Amino acid sequence: MKKVLLLCLSGFLFSCGNKPAPDNGSVDDGVVVVSDDETQVFVRRDVYTMAADDPVLVGYKTAIRHMQGLPDTDPTSWTFQAAIHGTYASGDNPVWNQCQHGSFFFISWHRMYLYYFERIVRKYSNNSDWALPYWNYSTATTRSIPATFRDNNGDNPLYVSQRYPSMNAGARMSDQTVSLACLEKIPFTGTPSSLESFGGQTIPAPQHFFSGRGALENVPHNQVHNAIGGWMQDPNTAAQDPIFWVHHSNIDRLWNTWISLGDGRYNTDDEVWLTTSFPFYDENGTLVELTGAEILNSVSQLDYRYESDPEDFDPESLFALNEGDERSALKMKPAMTGEEQEGKTTLAQTKDAETKFTQKPLKVNLTMETNGPAAMKRSIDTTNKDDKGVYLTIEGVKFDEMPNKSIGIFINVPEGTEPDYNSPHFVDLLTFFGVGHHGHHHGEDNGSNFVFRIDDNLTKLSELGIDISSIEVSFHLTNGVEPLEGFTEEATDADADPKGSPRFRKITIQSY
Ligand code: C2O
């Protein structure tokens, strides 16, 4: 394994004929041996183009029934596969509760997870061409759960009654839930606000739940989990819902989409990200492992592609792994050093006091520091920008159980107007999926911090003539689903308190 990785890291990734456990390979001491035979490339198709009797959907049902009938101890069983993501079951199988949220491992870990799940389903589907479909919800006509997953007639393993009743009745997710703004984020990782990156924060070692999520993970990923409700709302149950896998197939597809947009979009070359290996089980119930370096090219390394990938999609040609490569200049900035952190200037803040995100639009006024307004102005001066960003941090976020709502964060919404998610008042969504529970810990626990870059908002607001010399942050609860006639649900009701008492301690605005 070492040898392969060294080759990869010195820029010869193309020549690594290294594939994880293909049909004709064998695993020996963690090293995958492969023959050079041409292997079949499986095509992951759009679920919205499939009729109810499409062999992919039929095969998915066949496999789920089979997997649900296997004993929970069988690594290829439905329960075991879901437990790899997360579980409330007791027992300490080292492969359980592995899902990587809130860091740059999010994207890579879930690709690995899907890869072996797909192999297992293929085996049990009795369809040797079977590939995981994807749910592209970001079009005007595909925002409802696909019909076959909502069909409650008879014994349909794709139907899950725990979801929000309105979603199972065809309610649509809102524009904001399925926004693809994440694709505009250029760096993969490592900016002061992880939300300004596509893929999330660089961390020195895997962590089940961390707070440095990237833009893709936050929206649409987290918000779609939240909108579907039921098992999907909690990482410890999410993968039990068959919709989880078509949602993640789409998230994985968006990674390919992002890469194919070019213009400086490159995967990280962080060595920890490339070399850390994660354990899974293959379709034969054999313990296997994968590293980041082994999953970068879905076609050549994992034998699958998306129907929607551009014809000439060639992720290998895009890797910015070569020393001296001009693309290296475009590589993401590393995470901030301690010195840079110390260069932070606080412009405005609230008192340190636990505050609940409650039903009514919660409004919080920040107290400006003396230098605040002037520094803010310099940061948003488009002709003479001082090169610093302005960041809003929500500190000490905690909850007792996974909240059933997300929180829209807005700045200086005029009195008496409804918050508009398409206006420059809107900062971002604070979503809770994949954030560690902090409520039950004993002793010192500071909760999680979320950092949002706001100079763009401030610039646009001041261009509109809106006063930014004082700042009021307002929070609006949402579960990201459009109301459906005949359904009055607590979760879609913006006036009902969220579950789990989500709360924060402090808001600060800083420039650095
Ligand atoms: Cu690990 Cu969509 O979750």
What does the radius of gyration of the chain's CA atoms come to, in whole angstroms?
Answer: 23
Ligand 1 pocket check for 246: Cβ under 6 Å = no
**Is this model's pTM higher than 0.85 or not?**
yes
Q: Is the CB of 44 under 6 A from ligand 1?
A: no
In the reported structure, the alpha carbon of residue 296 is separated from the centroid of ligand 1 by a whole-number distance in angstroms of: 19
The Cα–Cα gap between 226 and 123 comes to 31
Full pLDDT tens readout for the chain, 512 residues? 222 333 333 333 333 334 444 343 333 333 333 444 568 999 999 999 999 999 999 999 999 999 999 999 999 999 999 999 999 998 779 999 999 999 999 999 999 999 999 999 999 999 999 999 999 999 999 999 999 999 999 899 999 999 999 999 999 999 999 999 999 998 898 777 889 899 999 888 888 888 889 999 999 999 999 999 999 999 999 999 999 999 999 999 999 999 988 888 888 888 999 999 999 999 999 999 999 999 999 988 999 999 999 877 776 655 544 444 444 333 444 445 555 556 788 999 999 999 999 867 799 999 999 988 888 888 888 777 777 789 999 999 999 999 989 999 999 999 988 889 999 999 999 999 988 765 444 455 788 999 999 999 999 999 999 999 999 999 999 889 998 998 876 655 666 788 899 999 999 999 88
- In a 13 Å sphere around the CA of 281, the CA atoms on its Cβ side amount to 22
Closest ligand 1 atom to Cα of 248: 2
Q: Residue 84's closest CA among 262, 272, 290, 227?
A: 290
Determine the distance separating the centroid of ligand 1 and the alpha carbon of 95, expressed in angstroms.
16
Q: State if residue 13 touches ligand 1 by the CB under 6 angstroms criterion.
A: no
Q: Closest Cα to residue 146, out of 132, 133, 162, 155? A: 133
The owner of tokens 């089980």 is: 281
Is residue 221 lining ligand 1, measured as CB closer than 6 Å?
yes
Protein residue with its CA nearest to atom 1 in ligand 1: 99
Q: 248 CB less than 6 Å from ligand 1? A: yes
The CA–CA distances, whole Å, from 460 to 22, 28, 175, 326, 456 equal 52, 58, 21, 33, 6
In contact, 408 and 476? CB cutoff 8 Å: yes
Nearest atom, ligand 1, residue 86 CA: 1
* Tens-place pLDDT, residues 71-81: 999 999 999 99
* Token couple for 280: 């899974």
